Amino acid sequence: MRRLFIALALVLVSGVASADDAFVAGNRVAVAGDAKAAAADFERSLAHGWSAATLFDLGNAYATAGDWGHSILAYERAELLAPRDPAIAANLAHVRADAGITSPPPRTVDRTLAVLSADEWTWIAVGAGALACLGLVALGWAYRRRAAGMLVIAGSLAAALCGVAAARTAPSADSAIVLARTEVRLAPVATADAVFVAPAGEEVRLGAEHGNFFQVHDGDRMGWLPRAAVERVVPSLQ
């Protein structure tokens, strides 16, 4: 058993070391001006686990190489981990502009809720729920029942509101980025007529799957894209 624990520890340490080595190597070749090699090193580092810093550097490398689709995807993922990082937001906006990607400004409520991440709203909801439970326990006591009742009401209301905020700010599992300029077809076959062209970096919603194609929704437009042309912002667990 002891040998097993030692072996597992060595595997974990070697995995972290490999990720660090790839990250350092990526930054070294990025400084040398080889953006494609840097992106490959950062991708290798991310295979051991995501980090906002590595995803940010990956986005920079792809942007330098002129690969808008992969760059926007990397920045989107970095923003999930660090939603208030101004450098990520600025670079993402800059690359979207370079790629010609336009999107309507977020509504006031969405902009307000984005102050916190979905995980942070969830933890606040959990804390508010715990206060409500504490109030329920206090209701069994013979004194200060009114204060306990107010605690139950306030905690329950706060938990519900924060739960809604968490759901609203959580990334959609169907959100995906178009990796390269691709024709969106009328049917899930390569010979079908093209209905519109999706530019690299465009965000779409994934729908049905058929063979090697995804049905995608881009605003009020719909069609089919090859699987290789899009990638989910939040990878599927399947």
- Residue 83 phi, psi (nearest 5): -65, -15
pLDDT in tens, 8-23: 333 333 444 466 777 7
**Taking the domains of the chain in order of start, what are their residue ranges?**
2-99, 110-169, 175-232
Winning range, highest mean pLDDT, from 61-70, 116-125, 143-152: 61-70
pLDDT in tens, 86-117: 999 999 999 999 999 887 666 777 777 777 88
* CATH architecture under which domain 2-99 falls: Alpha Horseshoe (1.25)
Q: What span, in angstroms and rounded, lies between the C-alpha atoms of 214 and 148?
A: 53
* 113 contacts 170 by C-beta, under 8 angstroms: no
Question: Does the global pTM surpass 0.85?
Answer: no
Q: What span, in angstroms and rounded, lies between the C-alpha atoms of 96 and 179?
A: 13
Which residue(s) pair with 205 in the sheet?
A: 175, 217
Q: What span, in angstroms and rounded, lies between the C-alpha atoms of 118 and 115?
A: 10
Mean pLDDT in residue range 114-132: 86
Length of the chain in terms of residues written: 238
pLDDT in tens, 41-71: 999 999 888 899 999 999 999 999 999 999 9
Topology of domain 175-232 in CATH is SH3 type barrels. (2.30.30)
pLDDT score recorded for residue 19: 63
